[in-house]
Structure 1
Amino acid sequence: MPKKRRLAAAITLVCALTVLAAPGTAFADPAPTPSTGTPVLPGQPRTLDEVGKQIDELYRQAAVATDAYNLAEEQTKQQSAQIVRLAQQIVQGQEKIKRLKDRAGATARMQYRNGGLPPGAQLLLSGDPDSFLDGANRLRQGQQAAQGLLAELNRTQADLAAYSKDASAQWKNLEANRVKKEAAKKDITEKIAAAEKIQSQLKEQERQRLAELEQKREFDSQTAWLSTGVLKDISSNASEQGKKAVKFATDQIGKAYVWGAAGPDTFDCSGLTSQAWLAAGHPIPRTSQEQWAQLPHVAIKDMRPGDLIIYFADATHVGMYIGDGAIVHSPRPGRTVTITGAGSMPILGVVRPDSQANS
């Protein structure tokens, strides 16, 4: 068997064995109804298949909110840094204005010491043609210097006003993002709590069956993806940076998913991919949606290890392609960083962080 298909075949085989080995499993039939002892609230699903779909949807909604939280967090960091820079510029501008005013004050004091007469009047009263011509030249230079001083003072004051206005706008943005973060955090915790509550109402046997159903869905999706012959067209090798990113990501296998986390001990999906590429020396956007929006897109047939596969129509999940039809990703709350089939979820597209690197 060609090398590039070995891992894909292994993943398919493991998924098949997991499904077939499950005791009492009869997937040709609709998912069974939970036991009568399981609390069922009005409007709640009544079959395990429906339970699984509702839990998946709640985690999907939590993923959407997590992306919103992460984006607001990144923007807050950027705005905080910008406010610090603006504050430094304001201080520097205030110090410059003080120096310019001191220079203007020195000129005024010199005129006072000369009896209050302007330099031009003093020259006319000197009666010495040579002194007059020499002084006239100095007078022009002094006037030019005074005009330059005044212009610089005006520019500095205008800059200072602009810095202050920009800082005020950044403070408003900072507060708006703080509100977004809190709303997203509330949404995340509510959705995760709702999913966990539904799971807690199931008996152990039902939870096992639920896991089997999920494995079968992923297996069916991966099998359908592979059956298109997609792997025969994928032959690109990873770039040097891509190899580093893959190594970092696979080194995190077994670490827990935590929403909003970007290492070193826990990760959400885009926290894993962004940190992997940072470790490879190529920083990328923090969220899966921004990764999809900002990074160059490549066709699936052209993807190579290290590329990022973006999932779902709203780009709310991301995994890193590692070759042979597999990805490494951080799935969702309650799970750990793991390897799974690249086609086990609906693929939106592929992006390449190091698009300029040679294969």
Structure 2
Amino acid sequence: MKARLIRYSIAILALSLASGQISGQSKNSFEKIFEKETNGAAVEESTKFKNISTLSYYPDTLPTWFFTPPPSTLNSIYAVGVSDPDMEPAQAKEMAIHRAKAMVVLCRNAKLQYFRDVYTSEKESGRYTDYRQRFDTYFKISSLSKIDEASFALVDSHLNRYNESLVLIKYSPNPSPPEENNLLSVVGTVLYVEAQVEDAFEVQAEYELLSAFRQPEKDIKSAHLLYREKGNKFLSNSEYLDSLNEFPIFIYKYASPDWDKNTQPLVSYNGLWSKFTREMLRTLTLTTEQTKIRIKNLGEKYNPATSNLTREVVSYLAQVKLNGIVFERDSMKLDLTVNEIIPEIK
């Protein structure tokens, strides 16, 4: 049942991004699915690990290259990838490499799409005016690329105390690649629903990352991460090779090798990759908001009252570069450079 609900919500999001519109019914569906999946509960720790015999409550110190990967160029692209927690080491490394390759494809050439609907309404109530606003933000980054497996090299790897595999890979494009039809597609999406009534403000968000590697006469290798949050409640689901990958909700702690001993660690209840993916998609959304935006003022009826609708729109091609990662006060900050690609006019 849970899988069907997840696929249903994904279909709603994909449809809204494709058409540029979303109905009030689908927004309500998003909220209902979120509440049902999280069961109205806050974070609860679960320690049913399958592949870890001894648990440690000390933070895991991550390698330096995770925070400062080598600088990428047009001929050499570096990327990091992280597996889910509590996996067997061999499969964990395989998942981490798949995710790192997906990052390479996004960095090389991606299409970024964004639109934001701002609903405003005022309703007279006696001597007072009831002022309401709703902000619906939709973001999508996608890329499809032919890749040559021989052009990838594993530079370094690290298996931490939670059985998460971290890898650093290098991609050096072959100027004369073999005639193979190996395709890697990656799609990342974000949905924000923000509602304001007077001074009260409520935010809920959904982050999703899907990648699929297609080779002739072989099974598709795919990975899917879905993360929803509302207040102190969250829902996280991870799939790899068409199988749900379950791991415990736990206080996963991470530290930088450059920190002092008394520095508070980064904490994640869903492992490192969910934190990385959320921050990457969030940063790209905010960066896109700051680029040139085309604004439309649309007079529409928005249930339950007539309101003004303003739509902000962005769509462009870009190359993305990860310059570094910093942990700050229980949050992860990604230093990303987004360079717009201007199509040549022929």
Work out whether the TM-score is over 0.5.
Answer: no
TM-score (norm 1): 0.22
Larger of the two Rg values belongs to structure:
1
User: Which is richer in strand?
Assistant: 2
TM-score (norm 2): 0.23
